[in-house]
Structure 1
Amino acid sequence: MSPSPVAAAVAAAHATFEAHNPESRRLHTEAAAHMPGGNTRTVLYAEPFPVAIQSGKGNTLTSVDGKTYIDFLGEFSAGLFGHSHPRIAEAVQTALASGWNYGGESVAEKKLAAAVTSRFAAGGVELVRFTNSGTEANTFAIGAAIAHTGRKTILIFSSGYHGGTFVFPMDLCRWTHNGSQDEPPVRNMNLPHNFVAAPFNNLAETKAIIDALPADSLAAIMIEPVQGSGGCRPAAPGFLKYLRETADRLGALLIIDEVMTSRLGTSGALAAATENTVRADLMTFGKWIGGGMTFGGFGGRRDVMALFDPALGAAKRLMHPGTYNNNVFTMNAGLVALDIYNAEAVAALNARGDKLKAGIDKALFASGLYPDDHAAFLKDVIEVDSFEGETKLYTGGDSTPVALPRVFLASRGSMLNLRFSGSDAGHWHNIYYHFMLEKGIYMASRGYTPLNLVIEDKDVDLFVSAVEEFLATYKAELSA
């Protein structure tokens, strides 16, 4: 029995990749003797094995097999400044020259705190504390909400990702919502908080779930303004406003996860999406703000953040330790990063993202794979999940929903993700990933392409041309 066209395409892509990357394969095989699956960061694994990177410079990466790629991944947003920005390098050298591992407070951390609270004041940040990662930031934000309200329940949303211990794929959310006694459909290591799942962007179903909660049980509502790991899915402004109003009505805290999305506006994605009409009670940060170094942060309302004041004494304060919360490399690099990525740079990068979006949208229509009746949904398309049916596309208001196309683009500003739908979507993501690698383009295996500051228009043009060629090559299979 001959393999299906999709299976044949996967096999061919893997065969080409293996032939062109023998050294990466060797290193991966050897590493499996010391790490499970030869990997220490799940998201970087891609079948049949990942590319092993030798070095990075500017907007390029070079593999151990001698192939140079244009970097369209930007370390999942953390590498916003490329791999060798001179001002970031100078900041790190300054830190090196002054010694490290102080075991004490530094001048740089105090300056960085002032810069962050000033930058994100419009989003609701009055006080801030630093962590080592976005996962840690969200851990402390949830803990603060529980301590402040005296309640236990945290409302999260389908396909949300808030760090390695807060992963909520749709299948898991539906499983918990339906109260099944069977084994969960996916394994996870989520921290054992009382999480209640609601469908992303679905106001009616979310309202029903919230209304069914016991009185005075909701501690916090946690949401990303754009779901990065979920496929660059923007939250509708009206949905964010509803969550703000609901949190106020119920005495809960609204936690806005801007670990990935703070790049989308001068004061973050929440402020940009709602024209400064919605403020967070707590906001979390990560990625680029540390200038590419290890970084996380959480901040928000003064009365909530004041719980972390160490002068309060053991009986009243919340503990927030962390050896490297204020490491000198991140503190120095972060100060420079906020200065480099100013309002002008934010606008320019989002404009370059819009240019890439326009090129890919044009390619999708030209291929015939993107139906004409989706034209009205290209500008402000949002995805609305449901626990009772399939995810649909809307433009908001009274627009008629349509099914997800076979292949489509989800984006907001400088965050973009070409995606596939259907039962074989995972195979198509893998085929697309390998196709782009062969064209000299490095990105996430799931199709995520957050732009960095050293990507140029010529790189965008190359990316669009590669997408056009991919669509032409696999049009028949995608149409089947």
Structure 2
Amino acid sequence: MTVPGYLAAQLTNSHRTYLERNPKSQTAYQDSFAYLPGGNTRTVIHADPFPLTFAKGEGSTLISVDGHRYLDLLGEFSAGIFGHSDPRIANSINEAMTGGWNYGGTCTYEKELAKKACERFGPSGLELVRFTNSGTEANTMAIATALNITGRKKILVFSSGYHGGTLVFPLSVMKGEMVAPMNLPHDFVYAPYNNIRETREIPDHLPPDSLAAILVEPIQGSGGCRPAGRRFLHFLRTEAHERKALLIMDEVMSSRLGYSGCSAEMNIRADLMTLGKYLGGGMTIGAFGGRKDIMELFDPTKSKLFHPGTYNNNVFSMAAGITGLDIYNASEVHRLNNLGEELKEDIQAILMHHGLYPDSYPSPRVGLVEIDSLQTGTKAYIEDHPDKLLQLPSMFVTGRGSMINVRFSGPDASQWQALFYHHMLERNINIAVRGYTPLHLYVSDADCKVYLESIEAFVIEHKPMLTS
């Protein structure tokens, strides 16, 4: 049997089991078509044949309307780093509610959260900060700031980058194979992620003094937990400085990887950086900020740059964020990242043991760094060995610290990813359809063991086709 034929048969069986197991979720999905297009208001959480509907969350557990309990390894795509019911977060919100909300004015909470954010992320470049309602909005404002500051129009972005629902850059878009109709109509310039040689040439072909900003993620969360190489990020910092453009570090997800952000861990100071996800303690939030001389242009007394927003300083996000930053302190950042690194190494050890990684890989501790080319696609190199390019294994794991993604390569990658997703649901483990598992604070060593056992079971069951 061919691999496509095998996958089609396996997915048919998985969907049949799923339908039999989740009749109430199916009904909820079908009923919602009357009010939501495709029964959905958030594209990324759709799954075939339909997504689960959850009724409750507690700690590291999600409970579906069908009564099944799932170990949650998704953590709301990083926003849920505090689990589903941390009493400290709940108490902070309840206390804030006793004073009312929707003030239509400034409040004490925003001032305290701003102080905490700047003190914490200052080493990454956050000298002054403005709050928004989402990471998407934060990146939108950072771009608008760069355009206004520089008087230029072009923004350098990278393959597989994701900076919000209106700033999506899959490799297929950059190669002209598809369009992204929901993207904002800025003058984007495309470059390959982690590829210094090809990226170096691109700004050279632009009109003089036209590049306003370089926008990059230190690790591409939506793009598959693809870490940027240290040399690549330092190259971008130098390029931005020499071309008098602004370096915008999108740390909406990656800021969880270091107490002061991933940029500080890489010894890089951004001109502007964006934050979001967990910063609001699990509530809706975003933030952008950076160099004092830039951000002071938002000072209303100077009437330079305009930034309104009814819920920028809402008491729920501000109060929860204050408590959240106390909870996710330096010790917890270190602990969670270590847990993630150990999990990644253990996954790699399983894949190596079963022959899915080449014999040339030196040990389970190696990390894959993917390097894109707008001409030839994607290859990878082993960390600290950037001159030796490798083909991606059929099944592999990428990530850094507590951000981890089990992935597949080749023409059948999406079918393998879907089969892996359903394999985990059958074992009562909730992950993203794309295999993303950003660990949260309620994930334990025992939870990781359960996930590892399920991964090995998947590999053993499908090994003949994965190695064919």
**TM-score bin, normalised by smaller chain:** over 0.9
SS in 1 for 2:283: coil
CA deviation after TM superposition for structure 1 residue 376, in Å: 5.8
Check the 8 A contact 2:124/2:261 in 1, yes or no: yes
Q: 1:199 corresponds to which residue?
A: 192
Amino acid at match of 1:450: P
SS in 1 for 2:301: helix
1:285 is aligned, of 259, 264, 275, to 275
SS in 1 for 2:83: coil
Q: 1:181 corresponds to which residue?
A: none
Distance 1:187 1:195 in 2: 12
Q: 2:286 corresponds to which residue?
A: 296
Distance 1:186 1:441 in 2: 34
SS in 2 for 1:311: coil
SS in 2 for 1:365: helix
Check the 8 A contact 2:348/2:364 in 1, yes or no: no
Distance 1:358 1:352 in 2: 10
Distance 2:109 2:180 in 1: 41
Distance 1:453 1:377 in 2: 25
CA deviation after TM superposition for structure 1 residue 398, in Å: 5.1
CA deviation after TM superposition for structure 1 residue 438, in Å: 0.8
Q: 2:354 corresponds to which residue?
A: 367
CA deviation after TM superposition for structure 1 residue 378, in Å: 4.9
CA deviation after TM superposition for structure 1 residue 374, in Å: 2.8
Q: 2:151 corresponds to which residue?
A: 150
1:459 is aligned, of 447, 454, 460, to 447
For residues 215-254 of structure 1, what are the structure 2 equivalents within 5 Å? 215-254=208-247
SS in 1 for 2:351: helix
Residues 216, 235 of structure 1: CA spacing in aligned structure 2 closer, same or farther, 3 A cutoff? same
Q: 1:449 corresponds to which residue?
A: 437
Residues 398, 200 of structure 1: CA spacing in aligned structure 2 closer, same or farther, 3 A cutoff? closer
When normalised by structure 2's length, the TM-score is 0.98
Distance 2:181 2:449 in 1: 39
Q: 1:406 corresponds to which residue?
A: 394
Check the 8 A contact 1:281/1:301 in 2, yes or no: yes
CA deviation after TM superposition for structure 1 residue 42, in Å: 0.2
CA deviation after TM superposition for structure 1 residue 451, in Å: 0.2
CA deviation after TM superposition for structure 1 residue 453, in Å: 0.2
- What per-residue deviation string (whole Å, max 9, x for no partner) do you get for residues 144-169 of structure 1? 00000000000000000000000000
Distance 2:190 2:385 in 1: 24
Check the 8 A contact 1:198/1:205 in 2, yes or no: yes
Distance 1:258 1:265 in 2: 11
Distance 2:301 2:179 in 1: 43
Q: 1:30 corresponds to which residue?
A: 31
- What per-residue deviation string (whole Å, max 9, x for no partner) do you get for residues 455-478 of structure 1? 111000000000000101111222
Gaps of 5+ in 1: 176-183
- What per-residue deviation string (whole Å, max 9, x for no partner) do you get for residues 410-443 of structure 1? 0100000000011111111100000001111101
Residues 398, 370 of structure 1: CA spacing in aligned structure 2 closer, same or farther, 3 A cutoff? closer
Distance 1:365 1:375 in 2: 10
For residues 313-352 of structure 1, what are the structure 2 equivalents within 5 Å? 313=303, 317-352=304-339
- What per-residue deviation string (whole Å, max 9, x for no partner) do you get for residues 377-405 of structure 1? 85232110001113111134553111111
Does residue 1:478 correspond to 2:466, yes or no?
A: yes
Distance 2:116 2:356 in 1: 46
Distance 1:422 1:456 in 2: 33
When normalised by structure 1's length, the TM-score is 0.95
Q: 1:439 corresponds to which residue?
A: 427
For residues 65-84 of structure 1, what are the structure 2 equivalents within 5 Å? 65-84=66-85
Check the 8 A contact 1:383/1:393 in 2, yes or no: yes
Amino acid at match of 1:375: P
Check the 8 A contact 2:345/2:365 in 1, yes or no: no
Q: 1:178 corresponds to which residue?
A: none
1:415 is aligned, of 373, 398, 403, to 403
Q: 1:179 corresponds to which residue?
A: none
Distance 2:171 2:7 in 1: 24
Amino acid at match of 2:393: P
SS in 2 for 1:455: coil
- What per-residue deviation string (whole Å, max 9, x for no partner) do you get for residues 193-236 of structure 1? 00001000000000011111111000000000000000000111
SS in 1 for 2:455: helix
Does residue 1:264 correspond to 2:257, yes or no?
A: yes
Does residue 1:113 correspond to 2:100, yes or no?
A: no
- What per-residue deviation string (whole Å, max 9, x for no partner) do you get for residues 255-310 of structure 1? 000001110000111111x2x2x100000000001000001000100111111111
2:415 is aligned, of 414, 423, 427, to 427
CA RMSD across the alignment: 1.3
Q: 1:386 corresponds to which residue?
A: 373
Check the 8 A contact 1:283/1:300 in 2, yes or no: yes
- What per-residue deviation string (whole Å, max 9, x for no partner) do you get for residues 16-36 of structure 1? 111101110111011112111
Q: 2:166 corresponds to which residue?
A: 165
Check the 8 A contact 2:54/2:63 in 1, yes or no: yes
Amino acid at match of 1:331: M
Gaps of 5+ in 2: none
Check the 8 A contact 2:352/2:364 in 1, yes or no: no
- Identity within the alignment, %: 54
Q: 2:40 corresponds to which residue?
A: 39
CA deviation after TM superposition for structure 1 residue 371, in Å: 2.0
Check the 8 A contact 1:377/1:394 in 2, yes or no: no
- Aligned residues, how many? 466
